[in-house]
Structure 1
Amino acid sequence: MKKIQLITALLAVSLGWLTSCVDLDITPTTIITSEDIYNENGIKAYMAGMYNHLPMEDFKYDVNSDGVGQGIGGGYFVGNGLSVWTFWSSTGEMVNRNNTGLALHRAGYWSGGFKIIRQANTLINNLPNYPELASRSKAWIAEAKFIRAYVYFQLAKRFGGLPKVFEAQVLDPNDESKLWVTRESHAGTYDFILKDLDEAIADMPDKSEAGRANKYVAAAFKSRVALHAATTARYGSEKFPDWEVDGVLLQGIPSGRANDYFKQAWDAAKLVENSTYYGLHRANANKADNYAEVWEKSDNNKESIWLRKFDFNMSVHSYNSMMCPPRMATEGGDRFNPTLDWIELFDGLPLDANGHFNAFDANGNYIVYDNCQQLWGNVEPRLKANILIPGNLYKGGMKLDLRAGIIKEAYDPAVDKFKKITVDDGAAESNLNSSSMWNKAAYPDKNPFRERTFLDWSTSASADQRDPYVRSDGVKIFKNGLDGPKINGTSGTNTISGFFGRKYLDISLPKSATVHQTSTQSWIEIRYAEVLLNRAEAAIELAQSGDATYNGANMLDDAFNCINDIRDRAGAKLLTSTAELSTDLAYTNWTNPGPKGQGGFVEAPNRALQIVRVERYKELAFESKIYWDLLRWFTYDTQIRQYRRRGLYSFMFSKGAVVDDNGIPDGKYIYDAKSCEEGSGRISFNVNNYYETIPSNELKNNPLLQKNRFQ
């Protein structure tokens, strides 16, 4: 055991030195020997070194760091930081007070990737030289090809075509040009990635220990890779002009290749279905609890296809402390505020014909809800499992206390009616404490909030230090709730959207234990729901482009079944027929031309593709998937253009409100949708960001390495 640990440690060091053809360094010969590696324990340690450095956007990913000293090359960070929320806040999924701009993935991941590729190449090339390992070599080589394919894909979706390096290169001091390699075409790059995955699928075992790949992990991943290639071929040239150098198409894939890639995606996803090991989690009859268990019980769950494990001895993270409500953490908190734009995608909330929140009666007055939970009573269970619900108990019995303000005691919820006070049109900034930003169509003379409500205008850093409103009967009520939402102009760390997210949180962990660098939840890199969505999307694309049937299956029927399987597990409304998967115009958002309806926030070429894309937004949010979806759909620059995030602001009538033993009140509520109080500035994605430029130092080191467009 000590030898394995030593080898693992040495590998961790060596991976920081081993390089690709690009930077021209060579492997130190004094770190590990072939005798250390080429035995069963040595191979396991060698594999562990590669897996530990795989570039995942997981709990350790930090878009704000270049990874120097602790990372695995520019673009990924595997130290003690966590800012993956910035990655999620650029797509409309969420926002927080510290990250209100548009954050892109960290640029520059190149040499770190080729270091891992070199490690994989070394194993692939050398294992056949050890006949005593022949009984295991085929599976190990296949696993190394999977790892190589995984890294190459992370590079391909950033840069396009890449150098194909399938040998562990050695520097000739008399001729360094032997290390120079030109780039393959964009399509050629995907082809050799998919070939690696095909060979991995053929030779890997059906099952593997947690954290390592197997045949079905490779198939699931292949469905992701092929789908990315297919949509790049279908949509890329329309948005980002193809980039050809010396006859090689480096950025852009011929559109005629799209259906071939869609078929590969469908086949790979279908293979996973045919296994007996993976499927949607359905162990709990309560659909909200069942959905939450996908993360809360991910280590023992058939939906988890591929995990990255964390534990106290080897690697911990800070997800719990950074992402939960600040009142429920000893340190950190407040980074996880889903947007109303995302919330509106789910069933069960009051929406208008355009798909936007609309809790008003027939006379245009706010609907009065009996308590803080009534609004959420009939929402899709999947949403209940994705957010923390006001009034519920979390973290050892702490009740979530959310409201923007209280309505003065003089106003009776049974008698007094209010028209909409703010403007919610996707464009207007509407701050509650503003003397100029309110709904002047309903209230032409003045902002009625000062007259009718108490907001918390204090600058106190914590909610429990703020001056409460004292009702005529002596009952004290916190104006802004203990958990927000935060109002513009005040300090504090509460939500700025009116919501706190739940996915991946350990809601049973007490506040005292919610501290940095103690979280051990596993990261789910691939789960079965994504595979079903990959398959549904590929099937719809095939059906719409001339392949109504494929491999004996009707493509629209197959997509219909995949989507309904996910919706049924989520407790969502089921599609009623394949007629809904039509080529009718997709719904559009706000003032954009075209039909309106729920889901118009998510752009798509037509209704069928919009349905599956909305399903991805709902199912895969906060999993580092939506960002790359927007890139491969080439809708990022139009969907996130002059985009202003929106939140939901609740107001409780102080009259009749009942306060519990902990001082938390509940009474009748009205709800107002509008732009976020903070983080409401417009953000836009630049069309030139669909691809990265090649790192300049790599261009210097390898004169054959062609530049990308715009560099």
Structure 2
Amino acid sequence: MKILKYITSALLVATLLVAPGCNDVLDLQPQDKMPLENVFSDPNGLKLYLANLYYQMPVEDFRYGEEGWHSNTNGGRNRAMYTDEAIHTEWLGNYGVANGYMAPHYWEQGYRLIRDVHLLMDAIPTLDVTDQVKDNTMGEALFIRAYAYFGLAMRYGGLPLIKESQKYNPNDLESLKVPRSTEKETFEFILDELDAATEKLPDSWGEEEGRRVNKMVAQALKSRVGLYAGSLAKYWHLATLQGEAVDKKLVGMTPGDAEAFFAASIAASETVINSGKYSLYAPTPSTPEEATENYIKMFQDPNIAPMEAIFIRGFNVVGRGHNYDFWFSPAQVRAGAPYPGRMNPLVEMVDLFEEYSHPGEPAPITTTTDPNDVDDYNGYNPSKNYLHFDEPLDPFKDKDARLHAYTVLPGSMMRGIKIVIQAGLIMPDGTPQIRTGVPSEGITLDGVTYWPWGAQNPDDYSGFNSNSSVASRNTKTGYSMRKFLQETGTAQWDAGTSDWMDIRYAEVLLNYTEAVIESGLGDVDKATKALNDIRRRAAFMDPVPLTQENVFRERRVELLFENKRDADMKRRREHHVYFNNRLAWAMLPILDLSVSPPKYIFVRDLFHAAVERPFPINWYYYPIPGIEANGLIQNPTG
């Protein structure tokens, strides 16, 4: 029931960040070591030690995968693929099955970071700096510790709350053990930590603003934590677990616990909103096309949007790049990367985006003359009256600007190239040749040759070829990823330099709207305005009411691929409902040669491999490692 507290002493060694020639110390990575007394005796050493703590924070960024943090060796697996956002071209598993257990674990990493924070806290009173610097440094330490505990709480529930360094005493090991607090107490502690951090943090860091935490960063994280805990309390009963950990409330809360957490989220969100420090980037585009370009630019370089980017993790240092461009660029713009196109947005996610002609409701792509025919995934049916389109992009033209900014659709332009995504042909005699390369020589009509995949050369198309030599670089859902990807440069290993917005203003607005609609607390008019401000930035001119459906949908489309959806599905207990032996689907663009001139049709079908994906409810909590030694009560495992 207890955990050994981490041993600390003045002789422990801290990992430092050194990268000569870099101007932003907080973007450095661990490469060297030196004794702590040397670190804290020099202002630059203190800054480097802080940089190491920032680096250890469990930010779910570009390099976050099933192996954990700061990893680029995951074969293009991304957290979106553990949700209803996307699926991998080849890897067809779902949440929690990597290497036969739930991953990424965070227990040891999290408590290692907490230990390192305590080393800093111990040293702060001895620092040869002003009291203001001491306070600011303590504020950063409190924030980082809260961030670490939040990363742990999301995965394990109630935690051993170690609040200070402990000395190792071989004659009294029991005194070094800390029992798990309840899940409710754990989240209350994190919120209190963030308020304590806020009191000590500065309003601004000048040139380092956005990359070091200030008062509003702490409140923005509190906005996120409060919403997570409130939702968890409200919906925990939807996936009922049993066992000693449940009986002792180490995991589990009740709907009665939700109000206080939602209230905390609302208060923190209002603090950020009312500060006037942040705002939406490019909030009033004149056209959807302008909105699309604004979104593309903001995620390619968040530094152009300091008014929106509340907290950034940098990737512009040599050796600290990411592999999003390498793994996810469509095949036609892969720039030599051998396995691109691996992030396949799911059909139901694309269908969720609204049309400007029908605001306030999802707009599934209509493929036949029957507008209600949007749920048949049985493939091509010659008895259906399919709609015909001159261009494969035509069905998507009225869709939300964010869809075009975040995804590559059939016929999208990227890096000056028209992206070809085609799943086959309807032959002149009406015979379907779908998801097969036959006839490989193409079909010539009126002097024009048409190819099953839209082009003859594999480098000239980006979809559906299932031949083993090129299958791994072709989308299988009909869609590919665009968000964050660069329009210039190369898609080489570790070459991605776009920075990651861990917290941005739009998320705070969405946290606020959701906490208000879920709790009945807060200012409904202000929440309605926040919701519609986000939509106005996406070029929706007419407001929509503040409803749960509108709020939930807006969050999903605005934050698509930002590694927030996994946590959202956890806190609202949606994972086991969605992954109820679920199959993935595909939208097949097919060129119909039986009409003149040839036109495109779209067919809903199963993903190329029909693999059922489950989610047992005990996966909502990770098993705690090492309970034989630390004596902690284990989370439900069956």
Please classify the TM superposition score into its range, dividing by the shorter chain length.
0.7 to 0.9
Distance in 2 (alpha carbons) for counterparts of 1:520 and 1:243: 46
Secondary structure, in 3 states, of the residue corresponding to 2:130?
helix
2:58 match: 55
1:670 corresponds to 2:609 = no
* Structure 1: tracts of 5 or more residues without a match: 1-19, 66-75, 411-450, 460-465, 582-607, 659-666
Q: What residue in structure 2 maps to residue 615 of structure 1?
A: 554
Partner of 2:526: 558
What corresponds to 1:483 in structure 2?
461
Within 5 Å, which residues of 2 pair with 1:115-194? 115-130=112-127, 132-194=129-191
Does structure 2 retain, via aligned residues, the 8 Å contact 1:224–1:265?
yes
- 2:158 aligns to what SS in structure 1? coil
| Equivalent pair of 1:22/1:180 in contact (CA under 8 Å) | yes
- 1:398 aligns to 2:405 (yes or no): no
Q: Which moved more, 1:190-199 or 1:277-286?
A: 277-286
User: Aligned equivalents of 1:354 and 1:126: distance in 2?
Assistant: 54
Q: d(CA) in 2 for partners of 1:238 and 1:391?
A: 42
SS at match of 1:672: strand
Match of 2:396 among 364, 376, 387: 376
Q: Which residue of 1 is the match for residue 636 of structure 2? A: 709
Q: Is the 8 A contact 1:382 1:572 kept in 2?
A: no
**How far is 1:196 from its partner?**
0.8
**Cross-structure match for 1:324:** 329
- Partner-residue secondary structure (3-state), 1:674: strand
Residue in 2 that maps onto 1:467: 440
Q: Does 1:501 align with 2:481?
A: yes
Match of 1:340 in 2: 347
**By how many angstroms is 1:349 displaced?**
9.3
Amino acid at match of 1:214: N
**Amino acid corresponding to residue 260 of structure 2 in structure 1:** D
Aligned-partner Cα distance in 1 for 2:185–2:434: 60
Cα pair 2:332 2:462 within 8 Å, conserved? no
Residues 63-82 of structure 1 correspond to what in structure 2 (within 5 A)? 63=66, 65=67, 76-82=68-74
Matched position secondary structure for 1:181: strand
**Matched residues in 2 for 1:241 and 1:453: separation?**
49
2:30 matches 1:100:
no
Distance 1:354 1:164, change over 3 A: closer
Q: Tell me by how many angstroms 1:347 deviates.
A: 1.4
Query: 2:8, 2:119 within 8 Å by CA — same for their partners in 1?
Result: no
Aligned to 2:616: 686
Contact 1:643–1:684 at 8 Å: present in 2 too?
yes
Deviation at 1:457, TM superposition (A): 2.9
Deviations 1:407-450 (A, max 9, x none): 3345xxxxxxxxxxxxxxxxxxxxxxxxxxxxxxxxxxxxxxxx
Superposition pairs for residues 630-641 of structure 1, below 5 Å? 630-641=569-580
What is residue 41 of structure 1 aligned with on the other side? 44
Matched residue pairs, number?
580
| Matching residue's letter, 1:671 | F
Tell me, in whole angstroms, the C-alpha distance in 1 between the residues paired with 2:468 and 2:72.
Answer: 30
Displacement of 1:247 after TM fit? 7.8
Alpha-carbon distance between aligned partners in 2 of 1:84 and 1:156, rounded to the nearest angstrom: 27
Q: TM-score, normalised by structure 1?
A: 0.76
Following superposition, the deviation at residue 374 of structure 1 comes to 1.8
Deviations 1:252-283 (A, max 9, x none): 12432211110100111111112333221116
Contact 1:394 1:508 in 2 (8 A): no
Shift of 1:107: 4.3
- Deviation, structure 1 residue 26: 6.7
Between the aligned partners of 1:485 and 1:274, the Cα distance in structure 2 is 47
**Distance in 2 of aligned mates of 1:248 and 1:34:** 42
Percent identical across equivalent pairs?
A: 28
SS at match of 1:652: strand
One-letter identity of the residue aligned with 1:700: E
- Taking the aligned partners of 1:401 and 1:670, their CA distance within structure 2 comes to 14
For 2:604 and 2:622, how far apart are their aligned partners in 1?
A: 37
- How far residue 136 of structure 1 moved from its aligned partner, in angstroms, is 0.7
Contact persistence 2:143–2:194 (CA under 8 A):
yes
Report if the CA contact (8 A) 2:282-2:537 is conserved.
yes
| CA distance 1:96–1:468, shift in 2 (3 Å) | farther
Q: Larger radius of gyration, structure 1 or 2?
A: 1
TM-score normalized by structure 2? 0.84
Q: How many Å apart are 1:706 and its aligned residue?
A: 2.4
Cα deviation code 1:310-348 (max 9, x no counterpart): 124251121101011123211120211111100010112
**How far apart in 1 are the matches of 2:153 and 2:242?**
15
Aligned counterpart, 1:645 = 584
Structure 2: any 5+ residue segments left out of the alignment? 14-33, 97-101, 372-383, 455-459
Matched ranges for 1:235-274 at <5 A: 235-241=235-241, 248-274=248-274
Contact 1:59 1:82 in 2 (8 A): no
1:27/1:614 Cα in 2 relative to 1: closer, same or farther (>3 Å)? farther
Match of 1:452 in 2: 431
Q: Report the Cα distance in structure 2 between the residues aligned to 1:61 and 1:639, rounded to whole angstroms.
A: 23
